[in-house]
Chain A
Amino acid sequence: MKKFIKADGWVKVPVQTKAYPLQAIYSAGYVFMDKAYLYLDLEAKDKVVVWLKPKAKADLDKLAMEFCQELLNYAHYFSSLKVNAESTKLLLQRALFSAAPSMVKEAEEKEIQDLIKELEQEEEKENRKPVKKGKK
C-alpha cells in the first residue's frame, strides 16, 4: 500500500490533474468536508496537492485512500458526463418534444426560416460580387 506523507495530523495526497480534473478534486473535497479539513495547493503545473486533516479521530492513511476512491468516482462521473453529453441532449429533446408536440412544429419552422435566411444571404453575396470583364 502506498504511504502518504504526514505532518502534524495532516496527510498529503498528491493528485495529477491530467488524470483527475480539477472539478473532480473539488467535488471529492466537498464530499469530504463533513469528515475532514481540506487545503489545496499547486505543487507543479499538473500536480495539485490536497492536505487532509480529520475532524474526528481517524486513521490518516485510510482517510487518504478513501479520498482517492472518491476522486476516482468523480473523475469517472465527469468523463461519462462528457461522453454521454450528446445522447443525453437527444434524449431530453425527445422527451420534451413528446410532451409538447407543438414544439416539433416550432422547431421545424425555425429551421426552415434559418435555411431561407441563409439562402438569401448567399444570394445577396453573389449579387454583390463585381462582374469580371471578359477578354475581347
Chain B
Amino acid sequence: MSTPFLKKDKTGICLKLHTALYGHDAIEQFRGAYGDGLTFVRRGAYWILSFADALEEDVVDSLDSLLVLSRNRKK
C-alpha cells in the first residue's frame, strides 16, 4: 500500500476515519451512497471502512465525497 494512512487486510483496503472529524452522519451517508463492497467497524473514536475489491485509487477518490459530506453535516 503506497498511501501512508491506508492498510490492506483480508477484508480489503482499510481507511480509518475519526468520528470527531468526519462525523457519524457523514460516514453513514457515505455508507448508503457506496452500497455493497464496503464494511464498517467501529473502533473507539474511529470508524474503519473496508473496501473489498477496490483499487487504492478508488479509495483515495472517495476522500473527496467524504470531505464534502463532513463539511456539510449539521453541527
Instruction: Write the residues of chain A forming the contact surface with B, with a CB cutoff of 8 angstroms.
Output: 7-10, 12, 22, 26-27, 29-30, 33, 37-42, 48, 51, 53
Contacts and interface: CB of A to CB of B under 8 A. Distances in A.
Interface string B34-63: 000000000001000000000000001101
A51 B5 contact: yes
Given A29-B71, A30-B67, A10 B3 contact: yes
8 contacts: A7-B4, A8-B2, A10-B3, A29-B67, A29-B71, A37-B61, A37-B64, A40-B18
B22 A40 contact: yes
B33 interface: no
Contacts of B16: 41
B64 A53 contact: no
Interface residues of B, number: 18
What does DSSP make chain B's interface, helix, strand, loop or mixed? helix
Given A27-B71, A38-B63, A8 B3 contact: yes
A33 B67 contact: yes
A37 B20 contact: no
A111 B29 CA distance: 44
A29 B71 CA distance: 9
A26 B67 contact: yes
Contacts of B61: 37
A51 B67 CA distance: 12
